[in-house]
Amino acid sequence: MESSFKHQLQQTACKVRLGALEAVYSGKSGHPGGSLSVADILTYLYFAQMHVDPQNPRWPERDRFVLSKGHTCPALYTVLALKGFFPMEELKKFRHPGAMLQGHPDMKNIPGIDMSTGSLGQGFSAACGMALAAKLDQKDYRVYAVAGDGEIQEGQIWEAAMFAGHRKLDNLCLIVDNNGLQIDGRVGEICSPYPIAEKFTAFGFHAIEVDGHDFDALEAAFEQAKQTKGKPTVLVAKTIKGKDVSFMSDNVAWHGAAPNEEQYQTAVTDLEKILHSLA
């Protein structure tokens, strides 16, 4: 990847983190930790990978994206706003009564959202259905879905994985945001989903383990996913929950809590420092 482009992506990802925190802070509720861990993955997908048209959100030929871990929508909403699907001002109204930006993604009312999600385990099945539709219609669009590493404790994920492997949905790419934490603690201690890559391999996937914060690595992995024929791909993306905000980093307390004013200022300072260093 060209270093100037990588630089741009890093800057965008930092803005995504700032936007996600602004949304959670303004809404006085939401999920900052997972929004920060998934920010680089979403940035890469929307700014380097997927074909979408903010002027025509329902463009039939577009690549599809399903945030199966729907609670981290503050990051997705920011990506969509930065991309031009709707004004950035909407982020300030996140989770407010009557606002467009609901607590979890709502495909009916939010431009750019391809599937309503929030109840864990369900989004990936819908992504499989979209990939199947593309095959039926002989369309070239690809379908991407992001699941949490806690989310894959849901049985439905494996029902969908069995289906995708069996149907050889090679136009489908699942990314597991492996930040290692869920509400009650470390995923490995609550009910271990490990080893993740081996499980998906057994279900007929091409599995790639990747650093979910390294754009060069993400580029190589997504490229490999595209080239993989006859089977779906899973990227097991190692990430840090609360990434780039000092007091949230790898801290389970920030799964679903909003920062107070002081904490928010500290977080903004942390992120602006990074943004300045990239300028």
Query: Which residues lie near another protein (CB under 8 A)?
Result: 60, 64, 66, 106-108, 114-116, 118-119, 121-134, 136-137, 155-156, 159-160, 162-163, 166-167
Nearer to another protein, 172 or 245 (CB): 172
Looking at the Cβ atoms of 152 and 258, the one nearer to another protein is 152
Which CB atom, from 46 or from 124, has the smaller least distance to another protein?
124
Q: Considering the complex, what minimum distance in angstroms separates the CB of residue 33 from another protein? A: 23
Question: Whole-angstrom Cα distance, residue 147 to residue 216?
Answer: 21
Shortest Å, Cβ 271 to another protein: 33
Nearer to another protein, 76 or 181 (CB): 76
Say if CB 23 and CB 77 are below 8 A apart.
yes
Peptide bond into 195 cis (omega under 30): yes
Q: How far is the CB of 99 from another protein (least distance, A)?
A: 17
Taking the complex as a whole, the smallest distance from the CB of residue 7 to another protein amounts, in Å, to 35
Amino acid identity of 135? K
Q: N- to C-terminal Cα distance for the chain?
A: 18
Shortest distance, CB of residue 31 to another protein, whole angstroms? 17
Give the residue with the Cβ less far from another protein, 166 or 186.
166
Only one residue has tokens 């995708």, namely: 164
- CB contact set of 229 (below 8 Å; sequence gap of 6+): 170
Residues 6+ apart with CB under 8 A from 239: 37, 38, 40, 41, 177, 178, 179, 212, 213
- Is beta strand 233-238 parallel, antiparallel or unpaired with respect to 206-211? parallel
